[in-house]
Homo-oligomer: A and B are copies of this chain.
Amino acid sequence: MNYSLDALFKPNSIAIIGASNDPTRVSGRPVQMLKDAGYGGRIYPVNPRRDSVQGLRSFSSLGAVGERVDLVLIAVPASGVEDALRDCCAARVGAAIVFGSGYAETGAHGRTAQERLAAIARTGGVRLLGPNCMGMFNTRERAYVTFPTVFSADWPEPGNVGLVSQSGAFAAFCYSRAKLEGLNLSYGAMTGNEADIDFADCLEWLIKDETTKIIIGFMEGFADGPKLCRALSAARAERKPVIILKVGRSPLGIATASSHTAQLSGEDAVFDAVFAEYGVHRAKTVDELFDVARLAASGGLPVRLRLGILTISGGAGVLMSDVAYDCGVTVPQLPEPVQRELRVRVPFASLHNPIDTTGQVLDDKTLLPAMLDALCSHADVDAVTGFYAGMGLSDAAPQLVDQLTAAAKRHPNVRQIVCALCTPAVRDALWAAGIPVFGEPSRAIAAFAAVTRIGQAFTRPAEMKPAPIALHLPVAPAALDEEHATALLSPLGICTPTARRAATPKEAGDVSEALGFPVVVKVLSPALAHKTETGAVTLNLQSRGEVVEASLSMLPPRNDRLKGVPVTGLYVVEMKMGVELIIGIHRDPVFGPVIMAGMGGIYAELLQDTAIALAPVTPAAALGMLRSLSGFHILEGARGRPRCDADAAADAISRLSRASLPAECHGIEINPLIVGAEGSGAWAADCLVT
């Protein structure tokens, strides 16, 4: 069942089973919408109790239509949905939509009913959108198979922005907002419970569609991580920006989501990692979703975070500089000779970049073009963001549009971005020249940064993933102590400090002399996850005597925190010095193996200074993870400390990421990974298998 969703998105014919003659009813609205919008295909109301529905001939059954129909809306009461879907299968239609609710979102009983629907569709070879969904729309062929009233008038021009949303009401909101903002959509699907057609399916179709250039999405959760990754990979290959508002980031959001949908959340941070890998922009607000979409939809993708800023308000220039700094955007200075040339004309203006035009720009019509040319030709920027305040509402608007349009033509490689209050006509005129308009200077800068990061991700060559390495547990999970866990790592080639097992304190003393001092001594036990808290580890022992004494004091009866804990021996380990990291691999329920790296120490752990990525990762990608940590400066030798072997740490992360975990094993955590001085290496000083 992997064939195209053309029947859903671009149907040549649409039947509505249960079509109502009353256009205000949910089962009547789509008929009215299709007629009003001027849908060019054939519309077949199916209603055995009427000869005509809203002026169209009505059919007694789907079979009576006498044509193989592309898309069928099932708009009958719950009790009739399964029969109607069977009729669709019998009539070999392409796709069916079920609006009705009361399925998986309501609990176990509904889930069973939904599984029945899915099975009928699958067996019958019909693609199913829904249930508990709001259908689809197609602004190009004017197919509106949905019911919110916002879709019922004032049909928008077809555009290049595709929409996929698991929430129907949210999609309807986006549709209205897009119309208000003059952002034109191409196709939209509201996937609801996703019994069959899901978010990734729709994404994939929109990526293949030639008229859709960018895709915005609203997602609450997604169970099939690899499928989503395939779709996102296709988007990157086609250079189509994908912007997703994935909600359920917080405990409260996840609780709310679980109470009203059947979506599996997965770990939110893993979605971040996946989106980062594929160059998807994850929006946190509706504004951001639209801002990034608007900029991406208006033209090519910048690839460098270098921005010219021009303002008719010095104050706005300061604000925009702050936001540029926050977003990691460089605002390169205009070369001094270029400034000098301009200064002759505007002696009081600030001309470094940001350029403060001063009010003179309103009187001297040649000033703005000269300033734009200076920034575009001499500041080596990928875009110029201009703050023109209320000019888009004023008499000066036509001149502004002309001058910006001309500048955009003169400098095709530098995007023009406008921040101004504009009338819709002014906004649309700028849009026609590929110039997006923002009402808020901060948001324009943030959108530039976001779109450039998409451009950078699309330019980055896709990494060759290293091959996984199968691991095998040396003993049963319940018998796994630290020595076994360390042994588990050996096929990965991760360095560990030299270590010896000892049966008694005396033997520990003996082996310590063979290892050389200082050493660490630990109590071995399959039941000990937290050695520090239970007094089962002693660091920095300098002599045989200290080792014996420490061993005695760590064991019962002297250590009563280990009373009743099964002890399998003592572990004498070469003491390594360096900066501590925590690295781990575990299986995410949605996306599979995930590699984590973070700074060690209680402070770093409390702040969760960690980075995660889909496993496996190359050493270069692992180094990128380390660089993203707030504590990376410590590895680099902050405050006069020695520089650490970050390459060795990255190598260890990459090696751990290749672990193909045994089925019994949820994850492996190395805590700490001790990173020595530059060139010396990194060692897994403790390892926990969960």
Chain A residues with a Cβ under 8 A of chain B: 26, 101-102, 105-106, 148-150, 165-170, 172-173, 175-177, 180, 218, 220, 245, 247-253, 255-257, 259-261, 284-287, 311-319, 321-326, 331, 347-348, 350, 352, 354, 356, 358-359, 362, 389-390, 393-396, 421, 439-443, 533, 599, 601-607, 630-631, 633-634, 638-641
Given A256-B317, A256-B321, A256-B354, 14 other A-B contacts at CB below 8 A? A101-B348, A168-B313, A173-B389, A173-B421, A248-B318, A252-B321, A255-B321, A256-B352, A257-B321, A259-B350, A260-B317, A284-B322, A284-B442, A606-B639
Check A318 against B247 for contact (C-beta < 8 Å). yes
The distance from the CB of A248 to the nearest CB of chain B, in whole angstroms, is 5
A354 to B261, CA, bound (A): 13
Chain B residues with CB under 8 A of A256: 314, 317-318, 321, 350, 352, 354
Return chain B residues, CB-CB under 8 Å to A261: 314
Cβ of A223 to closest chain B Cβ, rounded Å: 16
Query: How many copies of this chain?
Result: 2
**Residue numbers in B under 8 Å from A352 (CB-CB):** 256, 259
Contacts of A251 in B (CB 8 A): 325
Chain B residues positioned under 8 Å from A170 (CB to CB): 313, 315-316, 319, 389
Sample (16) of A-B pairs whose CB atoms are under 8 Å apart: A148-B359, A149-B395, A150-B394, A167-B315, A167-B316, A170-B316, A176-B389, A249-B325, A252-B321, A252-B325, A253-B321, A256-B314, A284-B322, A602-B634, A602-B639, A602-B641
Q: Which of A311, A317, A441, A634 has the most CB of B within 10 A?
A: A317
Closest 7 CB pairs of A and B: A167-B315, A169-B313, A250-B325, A176-B390, A253-B322, A285-B442, A170-B315
B421 A322 Cβ-Cβ under 8 A: no
- Nearest-Cβ distance from residue A62 to partner chain B, whole angstroms: 26
Query: A349's closest neighbor in chain B, by CB?
Result: B260
Which chain B residue shows the least CB distance to A360? Answer: B101
State the CA gap A347–B101 with chains docked (Å). 10
The interface residues of chain B lying within 8 Å CB-to-CB of A390 are 148, 150, 172-173, 175-177
> Known contacts being A169-B313, A389-B176, A421-B180, is A285 close to B443, with CB within 8 Å?
yes
Is B169 a contact partner of A314 (Cβ separation < 8 A)? yes
Q: Is the CB of B260 within 8 A of A356?
A: yes
Whether A326 and B250, one on each chain, are in contact in the complex, defined by CB atoms closer than 8 angstroms, is yes
On whether the beta carbons of A322 and B393 are closer than 8 Å, the reply is no
A661-B599 Cα distance, complex, nearest whole Å: 39
B442 touches A169 (CB 8 A): no
Q: Output the least CB separation between A355 and chain B (Å).
A: 10
Asked whether A314 and B176 contact (CB < 8 A) given A149-B394, A252-B322, the answer is: no
* Complex: A313 Cα to B350 Cα, angstroms: 48
Min CB distance, A394 to chain B, in Å? 5
- Most-contacted residue by chain B among A176, A318, A443 (CB, 10 A): A318
Beta-carbon nearest neighbor of A357 in chain B: B169
Given A172-B389, A601-B603: A315 touches B442 (CB 8 Å cut-off): no
Cβ contact within 8 Å between B253 and A316: no
CA distance A102 to B348 in the complex (A): 6
User: Chain B: which residue is nearest A286 at the CB level?
Assistant: B440
Do B440 and A287 touch across chains, with their CB atoms under 8 A apart?
yes
Residues of B within 8 A of A286 (CB): 319, 440-442
Q: Are B284 and A640 in contact (CB under 8 A)?
A: no
CB distance from A386 to the nearest CB of B (A): 13
Q: Closest chain B residue to A284 by CB distance?
A: B442
Which residue from chain B places its CB closest to the CB of A288 in the assembled complex? B442
Q: Which of A261, A359, A396 is most buried by chain B, counting CB atoms within 10 A of its CB? A: A359
Residues of B within 8 A of A630 (CB): 606-607
- Report A523 CB to chain B, min CB distance, Å: 17
Q: How far is the CB of A423 from chain B (nearest CB, A)?
A: 10
A286 to B311, CA, bound (A): 15
Q: Give Cα distance in the complex from A177 to B441, angstroms.
A: 13
Of B311, B313, B318, B639, which contacts A257 at CB under 8 A? Answer: B318
Give Cα A354 to B350, complex, Å.
50
Contacts of A633 in B (CB 8 A): 606
Contact A325 B177 (CB under 8 A): no
| Complex CA–CA separation, A248 to B319 (angstroms) | 7
Closest to A388 in B: B173
A245 to B350, CA, bound (A): 21
- A255 proximity list for chain B (CB < 8 A): 321
